[in-house]
Structure 1
């Protein structure tokens, strides 16, 4: 896979297909492989770019906490788009990737043709009151015992993750492998970036491009957040994927792909 040095960091990415561009932004502890069930479908009509964020997948992992924030992640995306000569694109972001998509839409509106926001928020979502303690333990385990230990602890003690694996047992090993591809720096400092991100809800009215908001029916922490985005973005529509939790693009890929392709086809991005 090709790489590019963006903002001093080697970024891994994948390009597929021809047509209007779409960039796919994965969530925390993910990689470009999170979109394995979307890329073959979308690349029939679109030029699809998926990347590994710094500290994730096969991209480089800077060692300083100052090198991680949602704004820095978004600047990497912007830099890679410029590197590839892409001046306008649709952006699809999942979870943390949705934070980046919103940052780009707000800071570089001239570059964004449409948004697909998947199980994400504008910075405010329902949080488990016990998760701060869990997160502190996960950071300690990642530092001292490695990513395998952090994964096992999260799978056992994080209620949202535990319930997801009970419902979709095949996702356990998929998630484990992606966690192991995430660097310790990316895990600790990327997690800190999520929790320190300032909400942009008050700015959502600035977004003028069409937005599709997709959320799993059983992703309780992000259902309310999705409704907030739907009500705050002028040209937004929202689809709830039945039975899905936090990753409908993997758990219910056929239904998810149908919703996304229908949205994109109606936009006629090639016009």
Structure 2
């Protein structure tokens, strides 16, 4: 017997200085997905396909990322949480779950702190968001400087091979079609310097890890084992400082593990939602 595809609709949120594009697929409790610096709302196609039969999946493009717009000065991550709040209010979502990757972690952490108790579950994939690894406890804190040097060298070597550091070598070599799709999605966004946005993100990463307790939100960190963008050992050091935090690493995956190892990633998210009753 054939089954109907999940309902889908799309629209725009009008902000004072930007237009935010969103898509909604499926029905049920709401999950809001926040993409990384190399993505847009299309980045979550494998998660939407998995979760839409049971959840309302809301994907959006951060300001400035295709096809959303941004002010002339480019996207400012300081506005991301307010954009998420506007999206949640406009769509009448109420309590939400958030799944965030890389840059999207800044949106998730800051929104959860902006509205304590309103995020029923937060997934931080290959990110600590605005929680500062430089303030994590030892011995992991001492690993940060050598890792930063090694990761910079690794990123330069990948770029020399025409491989985006956000994909990593394994995706390019083992899943070339997926690598090409990621590269195309990355290329849709034009018109501003992403390194400027990256610098703004790093400048805003100042919160002590323990400060996230104020959000009242259970959090699952999903670090990617082969990440050369965000230190994969940071979540293990941060989690004991945050009530309700868990860590579940994604093996054999680069920075975009949700894209590269979607089935394993989705299973981790689903188990976490079930555990916390989300």
With normalisation by structure 2, the TM-score equals 0.80
Cα pair distance change 1:111/1:205, threshold 3 Å: closer
Q: CA deviation at 1:8?
A: 3.0
Cα pair distance change 1:24/1:215, threshold 3 Å: same
Determine the C-alpha separation between the residues in 1 that align with 2:207 and 2:49. 33
1:14 aligns with 2:23: yes
Instruction: Choose which of 148, 156, 169 in structure 2 pairs with 1:163.
Output: 169
Aligned twin of 1:180: 187
Cα pair distance change 1:39/1:244, threshold 3 Å: same
Aligned twin of 2:222: 214
Residues 214 and 240, structure 1, Cα contact 8 Å, conserved in 2: yes
Q: Secondary structure at the match of 2:243?
A: coil
Aligned twin of 1:244: 253
Q: How many residues align?
A: 252
With normalisation by structure 1, the TM-score equals 0.82
Give the root-mean-square deviation of aligned CA atoms: 2.8
Q: CA deviation at 1:186?
A: 6.0
Q: CA deviation at 1:252?
A: 1.0
Q: Secondary structure at the match of 2:221?
A: strand
Determine the C-alpha separation between the residues in 1 that align with 2:82 and 2:202. 18
Q: How does 1:1-271 map to 2 (within 5 A)?
A: 1-65=10-74, 68-121=75-128, 122-124=131-133, 126=144, 128-129=148-149, 156=162, 163-164=169-170, 165-185=172-192, 187-202=194-209, 203-219=211-227, 221-269=230-278
Cα pair distance change 1:184/1:229, threshold 3 Å: farther
Cα pair distance change 1:87/1:154, threshold 3 Å: farther
Residues 10 and 59, structure 1, Cα contact 8 Å, conserved in 2: yes
Determine the C-alpha separation between the residues in 2 that align with 1:162 and 1:261. 25
Q: CA deviation at 1:130?
A: 8.3
Q: CA deviation at 1:159?
A: 6.1
Larger fraction in helix: 1
Cα pair distance change 1:49/1:186, threshold 3 Å: farther
Residues 167 and 256, structure 2, Cα contact 8 Å, conserved in 1: no
Residues 131 and 158, structure 1, Cα contact 8 Å, conserved in 2: no
Q: CA deviation at 1:153?
A: 5.0
Determine the C-alpha separation between the residues in 1 that align with 2:113 and 2:184. 33
Cα pair distance change 1:48/1:177, threshold 3 Å: same
Q: Identify unmatched segments of 5+ residues in structure 1.
A: 138-151
Residues 17 and 47, structure 1, Cα contact 8 Å, conserved in 2: yes
Residues 212 and 263, structure 1, Cα contact 8 Å, conserved in 2: yes
Cα pair distance change 1:94/1:189, threshold 3 Å: same
